[in-house]
Amino acid sequence: METSEQPGQVLLINKPLRWTSFDVVKKLRYKLKIKKIGHAGTLDPLATGLLIICTGKMTKSIESFMGMEKEYTGSLILGQTTPSFDLETEVSAAVDVSHLTEKQIHEACLPFIGTIQQTPPVHSAIWVNGQRAYDLARQGKEVEMKQREVEISAFEVTTIALPRIDFRVVCSKGTYIRSLARDFGEALGVGAHLSALCRTRIGTFTLANAQSMDEIEPRLPAQ
């Protein structure tokens, strides 16, 4: 059990698909028998990849970790939209995308590189009038999401297999990749939704050095 004299630790976890970031924290809190534990940046349940977990005194570093540059790889489907901008909600009927050329798709990335204004998804954990935006959305209430300034230093399409494209993004804290997918689809005039997402880096911490929950659990103290 961790004591007040112990400095705590930083754990790099490869978050499983469909787990919330809090699910990981809750599991590790139970296994480690500690109260002071938190994560440095939420990943959506449908995303996988690097999640930094801090325990003990290292929880004081959470804010600095959250402010670090992040890298993601993922896939989006062109010609189909959803209210949540990903697969959490129902997909619309498909729009024909066969007219799109590789040149058009690659060039559509360019306006999103640099400092941009982005509107977060309504289906997000942002607080609006004392409630989570996604709770209000699920209640059928109208939610006005304010634009925010984010920095995207790299956005490139790595594979085109219409209607799916694969991409890589390097961005600042506060960037919603779901919103980027939605806006990218709108820029091409066909709409889009995020179909897969993996966080591969936070600052100098990389997914290559992270452990899955199956890998880390046997190394944790037994109950």
Asked if residue 61 and residue 79 are part of one domain, the reply reads: no
Contact 76, 195 (CB under 8 A): yes
User: pLDDT (tens digit, 9 = 90+) per residue, 199-211?
Assistant: 999 999 999 999 9
The alpha carbon of 212 is separated from its chain's Cα centroid by a whole number of angstroms, namely 17
- Per-residue confidence band for 218, with pLDDT thresholds at 50, 70 and 90: confident
Same domain, 62 and 156: no
pTM here is 0.89
Q: For the segment 68-80, what is each residue's pLDDT rounded down to a tens digit?
A: 999 999 999 999 9
**Would you call 23 a catalytic residue per the annotation?**
no
Assess whether 41 and 140 both reside in one domain: no
Q: In this predicted model, what pLDDT tens digit does every residue of 100-118 receive, in sequence order?
A: 999 999 999 999 999 999 9
Name the active-site residue from 44, 96, 135, 214: 44
Same domain assignment for residues 176 and 79? yes
> Could you give the number of structural domains in the chain?
2
Query: CATH number of the domain that 195 lies in?
Result: 3.30.2350.10
Q: Would residue 177 count as lying in a domain?
A: yes
Token pair 């919103």 is found at 179
Pairing of strands 127-128, 131-132: antiparallel
Q: Which domain covers residue 124, as residue numbers? A: 70-202
Say yes or no: 165 and 96 in one domain.
yes
Cis preceding linkage at 16, omega within 30: no
Tokens of 192: 């889009």
Report the distance separating Cα 102 and Cα 177, nearest Å: 21
Query: Would the pLDDT of 48 be above 90?
Result: yes
Tokens of 17: 């698909």
